[in-house]
Amino acid sequence: MAQEFIVEADGGSRGNPGPAGYGAVVIDAVTGETLAETAEYVGVATNNVAEYKGLVAGLKAARELDPDATIRVRMDSKLVVEQMSGRWKIKHPDMKPLAAEAAAVASGAQVTYQWIPREKNKHADRLANEAMDAGKRGEQWSAAASTADLRAASRAAAEPAGPPGDAAAGAARARAALAGATGKASAAARPGADAVTADARAARSVAADGSGASGEPSGTGTATAAPPVGWGAADLGAPATFVLLRHGETPLTPEKRFSGSGGSDPSLSDAGREQAVRVAAALAARGTVQAVVSSPLLRCQETARTVAARLGLDVELEPGLRETDFGAWEGLTFAEARERYPDELTAWLASPNVAPPGGESFAEVTSRVSVARDKLQAAYAGRTVLLVTHVTPIKTLVRLALGAPPESLFRMELSAASLSAVAYYADGNASVRLLNDTGHLR
């Protein structure tokens, strides 16, 4: 009977592009034992390139252990999972050869791909960070110095056991012997593999500084759960973080004209294109954005494509992020709308349920933005996604996160090419982290 392996892989870039590394781990799907680890510093690369390199390395490690094994790949990169599953096209030239290499490595094997939240991919994430840390020191990653397996075991032991075959639960059971240093959890199963057992790592870590892998008191060597974070609450895992980017200027922006989704679809001005370049550089330097989603309107798509090209990402379109349809007011200034439609404008300002003539009310916008928010929150749980959109959708997301009344829409300033951010947690709460940041434009 063929073995079944779980391959968990991750990659990261500190700068995107910047110093990059990957990590991958092969796990016995039945027992949860770590069978092999691999990691490498790869020099300057994007997040996605590092993710793909981690996948290739993990598949190679699995095939070396057993060429006939079935492989279940679990990654927190939705891009890689969807592309390797054949559901998304591979457009970026840097991704195509890596995807082809991954497919060639697993040729003939039964391979399936599953997206998992980042907090479920801690082991591979730590390996990738160890590789990047080693690169910063001018070294390559060494399994002999790695503590990723031990730290992953400590976390898994503190989590509730899952169903048979669940990797985290299996790892917790297999490594329970760490408490008495009697376990034999395997970290390598092929000759010459550059890996060591988890209990050896535990002993080495304690001998070095009297602490566990995370610098915590080791006590008797028993793996313990991390203390609560935040306001003393339980750890809810990494939130889904929406980085909200208003598109760059169009010719209508400086004139403060109504520019929604019901009139012309203006492109960026020269100033707007320069703003897009600047925000792309700022986001690349931060290196946190893992996906880009845009309103379908041209000004947003242009802004999004500029940023995505710098980050090495594709652009996903979300119709729910389009701007309000301002109906008869499209192209008018506020003063012109007041002059031509005084009663209608007064009613619109007084109630979110009133729409401009032939247009869309703020209540209607709130409804579709909320649907888009919930959809994207589920798709990007535990990840950071850039949403390139407009004034009303961004203000609406911020308002809803704060629980503020509809009239707060008129009390927020939102500049062209500004950045805002909202984090969404597993318990349904949200946190506004940034509003109308334009520092990257100065």
Active site residues: 247, 323
| Token reading at 202 | 């535990």
The DSSP code for 155 is H
**CA-closest candidate to residue 3, choices 70, 72, 64, 74:** 70
Burial 276-296 (b: 16+ CB within 10 A, else e): bbbbbebbbeebebbbbbbbe
- How far apart, in whole angstroms, are the C-alpha atoms of residue 440 and residue 289? 16
According to DSSP H, which parts of 356-422 are helical?
362-379, 391-402
Indicate the helix (H) or strand (E) that contains 84: helix 78-84
| Token reading at 434 | 């940034």
- How far apart, in whole angstroms, are the C-alpha atoms of residue 166 and residue 6? 10
- How far apart, in whole angstroms, are the C-alpha atoms of residue 422 and residue 419? 11
Strand 430-437 relative to strand 419-424: parallel, antiparallel, unpaired? Answer: antiparallel
Query: Which pairs with CB-CB distance under 8 Å and at least 24 residues apart come from 136-139?
Result: 136/19, 139/41
According to DSSP H, which parts of 106-233 are helical?
122-136, 148-157, 167-174, 198-209
Q: Is 373 annotated as a binding residue?
A: no
Decide if 38 contacts 105 (C-beta within 8 A): no
Site of tokens 């040729």:
107
Phi (first) and psi of residue 107, to 5 degrees: -55, 130
Q: How far is CA 232 from CA 100, 229, 237, 422, 432, in A?
A: 47, 6, 14, 21, 20
- How far apart, in whole angstroms, are the C-alpha atoms of residue 369 and residue 398? 11
Decide if 276 contacts 302 (C-beta within 8 A): yes
Give the residue numbers of the binding site.
Answer: 299
* Binding site per annotation, positions for substrate: 299
